[in-house]
Amino acid sequence: MTGGRGPTGGIGPDGAGTAVGTGLAGEVRCWQALADAVRNCTACALAAGRVQAVPGDLPTAADPQAVPLPTPVVLVGEGPGEQEDVQGRPFVGRSGRLLDALLAEAGLHRSEMAVLNVVKCRPPGNRTPTPQEAHTCRQHLDRQLALLTPGVIVALGSSAARQFIAGLTSLAGARGRLHPWRGSHVIVTYHPSAALRSGPRGVAAIGLRQDLAQVRRMLEAGLRPHDPVAP
Ligand code: SF4
């Protein structure tokens, strides 16, 4: 699980603003306003058990007051874990350290990406967020993504992938291709916690490496939002 700096809005999995989204309405707000909305949110039961909400991280050089805030790569995890809950930032525990290492191995830099979660408050015992919790928190993720207009969204694990692919049945089956979503390109891959469990030679770790390498290739090719997705 993970979380970060900043957010609050509404989008859908298919780029059409329906299904897995709540539909974005109203103006795009700056990151600082979105982050404040997350920190003050009590819209679901997860608020009662949190130390603090985890809005997400922006790229280090990003201006939290800027609107819009185009960000080439946005990572989306599941939700804050214990360390994230305490520190108020996403992916700062063991999974985060592995993610950092795999990003570096792929020639990517976390400091140049935004890092978000499906739910912004830690589920008890690090359990998977319920569909209702994810739905309630979707307003925040949608507003964040509307602000960031990502070129590539990396969905880390099934909870994140379901936000962009309606009717997802298999994480493995959704890997290896780009999923168009609201002008962005979604890559589905394993959550770093699965890679931790699988070990360095496990399916999840190998798959995550492969998928991050694909992100690197996409960036090298200069892929931007609304570019056509190759079949
Ligand atoms: S998980 Fe999301 S919807 Fe629930 S209280 Fe936290 S910020 Fe609000």
Domains of the chain: 31-220 (3.40.470.10)
Nearest CA to ligand 1 atom 4: 44
Tens digits of per-residue pLDDT, 199-213? 999 999 999 999 999
Q: Collapsing DSSP states into helix, strand and coil, what is residue 208?
A: helix
Report which protein residue has its CA nearest ligand 1's atom 6.
121
Residue 177 CA from chain centroid, whole number: 18
121 lines ligand 1 (CB under 6 A): yes
How far, in Å, CA of 53 to CA of 120, rounded?
A: 5
Percent of the chain with pLDDT over 70: 85
pTM attached to this predicted model: 0.89
Question: Does 47 sit in the ligand 1 pocket, CB within 6 Å?
Answer: yes
Where does the chain show beta strands of DSSP type E? 73-77, 114-117, 152-156, 179-181, 184-189
> For the segment 30-63, what is each residue's pLDDT rounded down to a tens digit?
999 999 999 999 999 999 999 999 999 999 999 9
Q: How far is the CA of 191 from the centre of ligand 1 (A)?
A: 21
The 10 Å Cβ neighbour count of residue 210 is 14
Any atom of ligand 1 within 6 Å of the Cβ of 1 = no
Determine whether the shortest distance from the Cβ of 124 to ligand 1 is under 6 A: no
